[in-house]
Structure 1
Amino acid sequence: METQTKSIDRRAKRSVRLIKQAFIELMGEKGFHSVTIQDITDRADVNRGTFYAHFPDKYALADSIIRENFQNLLETSLPPDSGWSRSNLRLLIRTILLHFEDACRRCYRIEELDPLFERAVQETLAGLLMKWLGEVSSQEADWRVPTKAMSFMVSWMIFGAAVEWSMAKSMCTIDQMTDHILTLITEGVSRLTPGGLAE
């Protein structure tokens, strides 16, 4: 029975991988709005039922790919034991700026996925910040601003600044922008974090 379950799991993972690969290829060729479920299933060589067993629609598929790629970027760019500190925050900001710079350089058709891309990246970023902040103090009473609110505000600040910078990079270098964002964040949150913000 266990062997059969492993075989089904392996087939399901393979189907998801083929569906994602087909969708990415088709996005590059046709753009998001022109890609249909039939296009995806034909390219992946799976039936429509297999697609719908894993994703309700192409929006959920796109969301899954964006979140997975962004999560992989964070995992490979940040130390495994990273937490709420100035050095980790600097590295996180720089990673996100590089991510947006790379997306612009490759001329991804992100504008077609703006709402999905925005939500997926910002929510993933807020989740990471929430984890970091939760490790500082588990006592919500220690915080002058609730950690959930702080994580969302800081994530939007980083995300919004990265979007603006990537569209008009002439305003400053990546190092300058990293320092600007870091200063804006730390000047406020270092006073709000119980015990201050570690280096």
Structure 2
Amino acid sequence: MPTNTNDPRVKRTRQLLMQAFMELLEQRKKNVSSITVQDITSYATVNRSTFYAHFEDKFAFLESWMREKFLEKLKDELPNAALSDIGSLRTLILIVFDFLFCTRPYMTFADRQYETLFEVAMQKELNDLLFTWLSEQAEPSVSRETVETTALIASWGIFGSAVEWSRHPQDRSAEDMARDVLEVVAAGLAPVIG
């Protein structure tokens, strides 16, 4: 792994690899599992050794790709990429639903091996965002452990609901599902934020 991820050259190379992967997904109509490290490096016109200088393996690359795409979506659609109230929590829930809906077409049965990897990457970002917000909003009497647990439960509740919905989006609208998820999550947050 590069030691200085803030180095502009490192950022450029990582971005080049990510763009190559996205273009292979979109233009070649390939699925995640069918794209190899060799495909990515050839399309990005870099050596395989360059890829491995940035990522341990394809799994590490895919986790980074999922995390970056999710964070981009958060920055684009959530003011300041932060939560401020229940309205922004609703927006966050819809972002998660939409993100999973948009990435599902790139996944096939062969890609199931990567689902857990993607779940962990997204859920961690979601948990971090919720924990930061809850830490700022928590009643003074609420312990850090309670805030951590609440963020963990809420993040998995939002994420798990979105995963299930994304498998069968025709059964119910994202808006309806998000409204119900928000109601349950908000009730779970009430003991922490009052």
TM normalised by structure 1 equals 0.80
Partner of 2:3: none
Please tell me the residue identity of whatever aligns with 1:129.
Answer: L
Distance 2:25 2:83 in 1: 35
Change (3 A) 1:132 1:25: same
Change (3 A) 1:136 1:172: same
Q: Could you give the per-residue CA deviations for residues 147-194 of structure 1, whole angstroms, max 9, x where no partner exists? A: 11111110110011111122223443222212110111122321x114
Give me the CA root mean square deviation. 2.5
- The unaligned stretches of length 5 or more in structure 2 are 1-5
> Bigger radius of gyration, 1 or 2?
1
Distance 1:40 1:171 in 2: 36
Q: Could you give the per-residue CA deviations for residues 22-71 of structure 1, whole angstroms, max 9, x where no partner exists? A: 22334454433333333322222112221121111111111111100101
1:81 deviates by 7.4
Task: Decide which moves more: 35-44 or 24-33.
Answer: 24-33
1:110 deviates by 6.1
Change (3 A) 1:181 1:55: same
CA contact (8 A) 1:84 1:133 kept: no
Change (3 A) 1:53 1:81: closer
Change (3 A) 1:59 1:176: same
Please tell me the residue identity of whatever aligns with 1:119.
Answer: V
Instruction: Give the counterpart of 1:22 among 20, 23, 46.
Output: 20
Distance 2:40 2:62 in 1: 12
- Percent identity over the alignment is 37
CA contact (8 A) 1:84 1:129 kept: no
Please tell me the residue identity of whatever aligns with 1:158.
Answer: I
Partner of 1:72: 72
- The unaligned stretches of length 5 or more in structure 1 are 1-7
TM normalised by structure 2 equals 0.82
Change (3 A) 1:132 1:12: same
Please tell me the residue identity of whatever aligns with 2:14.
Answer: V
